[in-house]
Chains A and B, each alone.
Chain A
Amino acid sequence: MSARTAGSAVQAARVGAGLAIRLEGVALGYGRHAVLEDLRLDIAPGEVLVIVGPSGSGKSTVLRAIAGLLAPRAGRVLAEGVPVTRPSADRAMVFQDDALLPWRTVLRNVELPLRIRGVPRRQRRTAAASWIARVGLAGCEDRLPRELSGGMRQRVQLARSLAGAPRAVLMDEPFGALDAQTRGEMQRLLLDVLRDTLATVVFVTHDVDEALLLADRVVVLGRGGVGCVLQVPEPRTPDIDRAGLRARIIEEL
């Protein structure tokens, strides 16, 4: 490894520019069952795009297609103009729950993307430890996932996804299984962490308030495709009344 990659992964996350993602007439489904048809969407580098929709609208399916875990039945998913055919470390994913490897400690879970990238042991240890501290879990490095609460596990997942210095972070209802208080804490942590990264974020949720709290733009996914795309004025600024926008989204849902 050269001296350039030797800098901490936290730095790398700041430097790595966001990925431009484009969906061109994408049709998605599992087996014979079609979920979405003719989906068109442009995601700008570095923006936080939140996809809201009722359950069964296929929001997670869109995310899987962007990640490269699911091949579209028609159309193309483009990352920086290149068709997505398989998952890549450029597009990290945060799952709803239980995606940590239960046999690995917190530290070794966070290290994993660095290990896959071939970062030498000592550097990945330092980088992983700094990410763990960043999400407020310093001292928990040697715990197993089962020894952590749901909120703590999601903190680890966040650290793990960002440790690999991805250019896009895909988040699939990451706080959906948490209680209201923990969810609030996690949202604040995410806002805090996102301030340091230039990565594009695609965030899926069914919670309209969560969408308004995080998003630059909100995509409302109804049955059959994109209902509308709404720009959030002055995104991620506290104490702004977004009742109008909120009403608009709920109407679309």
Chain B
Amino acid sequence: MSTPALDATLGPAAPAAAGAGAASAGRTRTAAGLRRWAVRSASLAAVVAVWQWLTTADARVGLRFDRLPSPAEVAAELGRQLGTRIYYLDLAQSMIRILTGFALAAVAGIALGVLVARSRWAGDVLLPPIEVVRPIPAIALVPIAILVFPTDEQGIVFITFAAAFFPIMVSTRHAVRALPTLWEDAVRTMGGGRAHVLWNVVLPGTLPGVFGGLSVGMGVAWICVISAEMISGEFGVGYRTWHAYTVVDYPAVLVGMASIGVLGWVASASIELLGRRLTRWLHSSDQGADQGADQATDRGADEWADARAHAGAGAGAEGGAR
């Protein structure tokens, strides 16, 4: 452990100087993490800068950028819209639709995925219709949704559900099938029945695979909720974007697109984050710099295990290093 005085002089800006000890290692990681975030932000800023340059220079290089609104115009439009109630209503509406559809898809997809993988009978009964419907793009179900559901709202949620359901179901099914039988055998020899195996082995063991499906499902769900809103909505980001297009308000179209992009990203990142939290047991100790703190403890554990294995001498050396 380095002394506080030393830390104060070096500061976090001198990560290379941080030598032994888990705490300093954690700080090095944090610094590396900050650098990575800086790179990521710079990448995004560069894209916006190029866009700004292309539009203000009225570039016509095969593609015609002269009529595209510039980032400044879009930002101004966004500023205007942020002051209106309707913008937030649209966001809320789209969020409610996607969360409802996605939540239903997650529950149904995981349940059915487990069921068809674990029971041959259920597989024979349920898989044929599922496999026939699966290749149909969810957005192609819009006419059916309009026909079958009494309200547009239900139709849109259904489209979202249909989009997210299949990737979740398929990933779950594969994850269950790929599960080593050893864990199940272990629980059964403890006297565990089907429910115990399901709860203590199948669900936690398939979680990494299931989260892969949830990630993909969330992405597809966004595509489909926006498309469905464009076709049959009265509210929502997709509807508003399409509406702006019909009145040739291009800055507003781009505000809509940017809103969709950011919301979609936040949604996917949330799934990703949740997945990483829940499957922490899976990650080896050399993960990304984002988990600096966890890392430090993991590393401590390894050192500790080594120290124990090598008995007295190892432990002594370890103590000295601190």
Contact = CB atoms under 8 A, between A and B. Distances in A.
Interface of A: 67-69, 86-93, 95, 98-104, 112-113, 116-117, 143-144, 146-149, 151-152, 160, 164, 170
Nearest to A113: B190
Interface string B154-186: 000000000000000000000000001011011
Contacts of B188: 68-69, 86-87
Given A101-B204, A102-B282, A147 B302 contact: yes
Contacts of A68: 188-189
A92 B190 contact: yes
B183 to A, nearest CB: 6
A95 B281 contact: no
Nearest to A182: B309
A89 B190 contact: yes
Contact of B281 (A92, A103, A149, A151): A103
Interface of B: 180, 182-183, 185-192, 196, 200-201, 204-205, 207, 279, 281-282, 284, 298, 301-302, 305, 309
B175 to A, nearest CB: 14
Contacts of B279: 103
Contacts of A117: 191
A53 B300 CA distance: 41
B281 A146 contact: yes
A164 B281 contact: no
A67 B309 CA distance: 33
Contacts of A91: 189
A115 to B, nearest CB: 8
B186 A95 contact: yes
A164 B191 contact: yes
A116 B196 contact: yes
Nearest to A90: B191
Contacts of A88: 189, 191
Contacts of B192: 116
B201 A69 contact: no
B207 to A, nearest CB: 8
Given A102-B282, A143-B301, A87 B200 contact: no
Contacts of B204: 101, 103
A67 B302 CA distance: 35
A8 B180 CA distance: 32
Contacts of B309: 149, 151
A202 to B, nearest CB: 13
B301 A93 contact: no
B302 A93 contact: no
A116 B186 contact: no
Identify which of B191, B192, B207 gathers the most chain A CB atoms within 10 Å of its CB.
B191
A154 B204 CA distance: 22
Contacts of A160: 190
Contacts of B191: 87-90, 113, 116-117, 164
A101 B205 CA distance: 8
A103 B190 contact: no
A149 B186 contact: no
Contacts of B207: 103
Given A98-B182, A102-B281, 17 more contacts: A87-B185, A88-B189, A92-B189, A95-B185, A101-B183, A101-B200, A101-B201, A103-B204, A112-B190, A116-B190, A116-B191, A144-B281, A147-B305, A149-B305, A152-B305, A160-B190, A164-B190
